[in-house]
Amino acid sequence: MKQLGVVAFAVVLGACSKQAPKPMDPNQDPAARAAIEKLEGFRAQVCACKDAVCALNTGEAQAKWLAGTYGEVVLSPEQRSARDAANQAFDACFASSSARQAATPADEAIIEITALRNQMCACKDKACADQVSEAFAAMGEKYKDTKATTEQIKAAGAIAEEYGKCMMTALGATP
């Protein structure tokens, strides 16, 4: 009987000593590292643009990537800092593309709405979405009397539609 008690004690002790597996460190996660590298690649690409078309195409590519894959990645605090720096540098380069100097007011509006769409697609909570929405409303007021071509209107409409989808995603992600 003593042997049974000792065996039972050993089994309980062995079961209690097992530790839960540790979660993967985001710094070691290849997907997280690849996401940061991809964002830095978009930043480098838009900073190298010589015209608005290049900047807009790069912005489109970044927005599609953000909407399609980025939300699945868990980032460490260091990686979030790197992400934020890459996004800020992207936005700065996007806003100052060399073609911006010769852009029409409608082109300016498209550039701004694209940057705001990119910011909204990067939002993961209501606070971020609210902040970008305020900037979007101010941008709308700024360009309310702007004349645009049919192509510019279609482009702005498509970007605004993507902005709306990203906003709904961000609002749905709130705790």
- With H, G, I as helix, E, B as strand and everything else as coil, classify residue 125: coil
pLDDT digits (tens, 9 = 90+) for 145-175: 999 888 888 889 999 999 999 999 888 854 4
Which of these, 154, 133, 132, 156, lies nearest to 144 by C-alpha position?
156
Which residues have CB under 8 Å from 81's CB, separation 6+?
none
Instruction: State the burial class of residue 171 (Cβ atoms within 10 Å of its Cβ: 0-12, 13-18, 19+).
Output: middle
**In this structure, what DSSP letter does residue 21 have?**
P
pTM value is: 0.50
Report d(CA 87, CA 66) in Å as an integer.
11
Q: By three-state DSSP, how is residue 20 classified?
A: coil
Amino acid at 99: A
**pLDDT for 89-110, tens place per residue?**
888 888 776 555 557 888 888 8
d(CA 11, CA 9): 5
pLDDT tens for 112-127 read 898 899 899 888 888 8
**Which residue reads 């996660």 in tokens?**
29
Tell me how many degrees the CA angle 39-23-14 measures, rounded to the nearest 5: 170
pLDDT tens sequence across 15-51: 444 454 445 455 567 777 788 888 888 888 888 887 6
Where do the structural domains in the chain lie, given as residue ranges?
28-172
Locate tokens 């990645």: which residue? 73
